[in-house]
A and B are shown apart, each in its own frame.
Chain A
Amino acid sequence: MTGTSSTSSTGSSAAAPSQSGPPSASPPGSGRAADATRRAPRLRTPRRRTLGRPGRSVLLTVLTGLVLLYTVIPLAWLVISATKTQEGLADSSGLWFGDDFALWDNISQTFTYDDGIFLRWLLNTLLYVVLGAGGATFLAILGGYALAKFDFPGKRAVFAVVIGAVAVPGTALAVPTFLMFSKMGLTDSPWAVIIPSLVSPFGLYLMWVFATEAIPVELLEAARIDGAGEARTFFRVALPLLAPGIVTVLLFTTVATWNNYFLPLIMLKDPDWYPLTLGLSSWNSQAETIGGDVIFNLVITGSLLTIVPLIGAFLLLQKYWQSGLAAGSVKE
């Protein structure tokens, strides 16, 4: 793994200065990548036509549509099912609405069931995301910037270890982490979920590739010559240029933390500290226990409520994270 990474790193650092010449005139670094993709089609279209390139294809659209159905039908099923009562779920077809439209009732029941524990889980999840994903993104920005723009003793070792760590399976870590944390008295507390979430090797990698490209070395040199300290240079010069990369990393660490299940499952016993994922799974397994309250309608409505914020964030921020991801893929 170290092989590719180091070769790609030299490749990118060699390419960066030559690329960063002309576009540095365009103010926010948001993206040379975005600019390039926006510009490119305009240049290409006339030539394509002269070369007789085939136009849009109905057949290809239909075939892609099949995959679209595959990804969207389960989501449609979830939305439709969230409008049904427990009885309606059993009575009616999965892909069409029942006689009863119980969505609002389901939502209010989801939030009030068991003294409003769902709201507590939602707030817990938000806490884990703000501290865990926020912290992971901040550490990845600092680390990625260091890998991209500084030469320091031990740099290669840091890089090799971090990339190697991506391949270490979660279980190899989860059990010893649990035992360690339990000796430190951290298990069954929010810290047991937040602290391991703070490290995102993938986020660091993405940020490193992005920073290599988005920050011209000359700009940093200029800031230093002007007498700015390292911290000031970072916050005033580098950070604004990294914005699209930051949105991308933040979104991916947020998904990782919001969707986290294995770690909380191991670390937490007290349902009061559960995130949404663990809470929903406990509601679902409730039906299995003898005499347990069967609340499939709440499991389904709760599931819908769990995915809505993330899907909303992805849709709202798509311009930013897609340009960040495109820049990240350049050097792969």
Chain B
Amino acid sequence: MTTLRPPVAVRRSPAPSPPRRSRRSWTGWGFIGPFAVVFALVFLAPILYSIHLSLFRDQLIGGTTFVGLDNYQQALNDDQFWASLGRVSLFLAVQVPIMLGIALLIALALDSGRLYGRDFFRIAIFLPYAVPAVVATLMWGFMYGTRFGLVGDINEAFGITLPDPLSTDLVLASIGNIVTWEFVGYNMLILYAALRVVPHSLYEAAEIDGAGQLRVITAIKLPAIRGALVIATIFSVIGSFQLFNEPNILRQLARNAITTDYTPNFYTYSLSFNGQQHNYSAAVAIIMGLITMVIAYVVQLRGMRREA
């Protein structure tokens, strides 16, 4: 019965359905309502509360007083804040291109159909995504270590002394390596999924026109997945600016190299939970949020403009 009816209805629907579809109704709210309520509670309310907090200051004498934009002014003149921002910017400039570059190459290799054991490669390279940042950092932290880590092994085996990955000079690169390890497979999968849906007729047309593999990649594949690349870049930018878990865990091994203001996120955390400076911390966090959004927006605009 029911299986027979839909086709009939489909055929009849064209006349009544366009107005029906365009007619606005509140029905949709019944479905998105629950999400909206929780979203308001855990996203909107904290943001508003954060803005509110950032305008006040806790004084030893006199309690909480309204100080306007003083906290923001203080943050903009805060060397610790700028140093942490500089650190994550350097991280962003080096780690993100490396990670996305590898992810893109692997995605293209998988998509080329020229690999032996493609499915195995795809799933095995993706696996680190399922590893919590805490576990990934503990693991790499042990391996970096000279005690029973791989670096110690290599030094012993070859009679050399590699530079300590947990030294002040190298620890940022060591964190970059952990983050790359965690997310290269995830980004590879996003890009690969986008490549899979490129119409294959385009490749055939290009081949008939005598285009080589490289030309197919630059003229067809890369433009086709530009949207996915932009999204991956934006998520990576946000991720870099939010860097916290890896430095926080690694600090247990490299207390001198990683300070509590190592990244902006770490800095706001320390301000709030070690320094009890909730109001100032809120201002720093809001500035960081604004910077992140602006950069994400710029990345997106540039990605779009090239597409147009």
Binding site for B on A (CB under 8 A): 1, 3-4, 8, 33, 36-37, 40-41, 43-44, 47, 51, 53-58, 60-61, 63-65, 67-68, 70-72, 74-75, 77-78, 81, 89-90, 93-95, 139-140, 142-143, 145-147, 149-155, 158, 161-162, 164-180, 195-196, 198-199, 204, 217-219, 221-223, 225-226, 230, 234, 255, 258-259, 261-262, 265-266, 276-278, 280-281, 284-285, 288, 296, 299-300, 303, 306-307, 310-311, 313-315, 318, 322, 325-326, 328-330, 332
Across-interface contacts of B158 in A (CB, < 8 A): none
The answer to whether B139 touches A74 (Cβ under 8 A) is yes
The answer to whether B292 touches A167 (Cβ under 8 A) is yes
* B123 within 8 A of partner (CB): yes
Across-interface contacts of B189 in A (CB, < 8 A): 322, 325
- With A167-B234, A179-B278, A288-B252 as given contacts, are A173 and B50 in contact (CB-CB < 8 Å)? yes
The answer to whether B115 touches A198 (Cβ under 8 A) is no
The answer to whether B36 touches A63 (Cβ under 8 A) is no
Task: Specify the chain A residue showing the minimal Cβ separation from B255.
Answer: A288
* Chain A proximity mask over B25-60: 1 for CB below 8 Å, otherwise 0: 111111110111011011111110110010000000
* B257 within 8 A of partner (CB): no
The answer to whether B139 touches A139 (Cβ under 8 A) is no
Across-interface contacts of A94 in B (CB, < 8 A): 143, 148-150, 152-153
The answer to whether B127 touches A171 (Cβ under 8 A) is no
CB distance from B24 to the nearest CB of A (A): 5
Q: How far is the CA of A280 from the CA of B138 in the complex (A)?
A: 9
* B5 within 8 A of partner (CB): yes
The answer to whether A147 touches B32 (Cβ under 8 A) is yes
Interface majority SS (helix, strand, loop, mixed), chain B: helix
Q: How far is the CA of A183 from the CA of B38 in the complex (A)?
A: 18
Across-interface contacts of A146 in B (CB, < 8 A): 28-32
The answer to whether A226 touches B2 (Cβ under 8 A) is yes
CB distance from B43 to the nearest CB of A (A): 5
Across-interface contacts of B304 in A (CB, < 8 A): 3-4
The answer to whether A303 touches B109 (Cβ under 8 A) is no
CB distance from B193 to the nearest CB of A (A): 4
Task: Specify the chain A residue showing the minimal Cβ separation from B110.
Answer: A64
Q: How far is the CA of A107 from the CA of B296 in the complex (A)?
A: 44
Across-interface contacts of A226 in B (CB, < 8 A): 2, 5, 9
Across-interface contacts of B46 in A (CB, < 8 A): 173, 176-177, 180
The answer to whether A168 touches B293 (Cβ under 8 A) is yes
Q: How far is the CA of A170 from the CA of B200 in the complex (A)?
A: 40
Across-interface contacts of A51 in B (CB, < 8 A): 204, 207-208
Across-interface contacts of B72 in A (CB, < 8 A): none
CB distance from B111 to the nearest CB of A (A): 11
The answer to whether A77 touches B35 (Cβ under 8 A) is no
The answer to whether B238 touches A169 (Cβ under 8 A) is yes
The answer to whether B121 touches A172 (Cβ under 8 A) is no
Q: How far is the CA of A164 from the CA of B32 in the complex (A)?
A: 17
* B173 within 8 A of partner (CB): no
Residue of B150, B278, B285 with highest tally of chain A CB at under 10 A: B285
CB distance from A221 to the nearest CB of B (A): 5
- Pick the contact of B9: A36, A166, A222 (CB < 8 A): A222
Q: How many residues of B contact A (CB 8 A)?
A: 118
The answer to whether A169 touches B241 (Cβ under 8 A) is yes
- With A57-B115, A262-B244 as given contacts, are A234 and B31 in contact (CB-CB < 8 Å)? yes
Across-interface contacts of A332 in B (CB, < 8 A): 194, 227-228, 231
The answer to whether B27 touches A175 (Cβ under 8 A) is no
- Pick the contact of A151: B22, B148, B269, B300 (CB < 8 A): B22
CB distance from A317 to the nearest CB of B (A): 11
Task: Specify the chain B residue showing the minimal Cβ separation from A21.
Answer: B10
* B281 within 8 A of partner (CB): yes
Across-interface contacts of A154 in B (CB, < 8 A): 29
The answer to whether B27 touches A299 (Cβ under 8 A) is no
* B249 within 8 A of partner (CB): yes
- Pick the contact of B47: A63, A176, A198 (CB < 8 A): A176
Across-interface contacts of A255 in B (CB, < 8 A): 129-130
Q: How far is the CA of A276 from the CA of B22 in the complex (A)?
A: 49
The answer to whether A326 touches B238 (Cβ under 8 A) is no
* B66 within 8 A of partner (CB): no
Complex A-B: 18 CB contacts under 8 Å: A56-B115, A68-B125, A71-B127, A74-B143, A90-B147, A95-B153, A143-B32, A149-B28, A152-B29, A168-B293, A180-B46, A199-B38, A277-B135, A296-B142, A307-B131, A307-B135, A311-B130, A332-B231
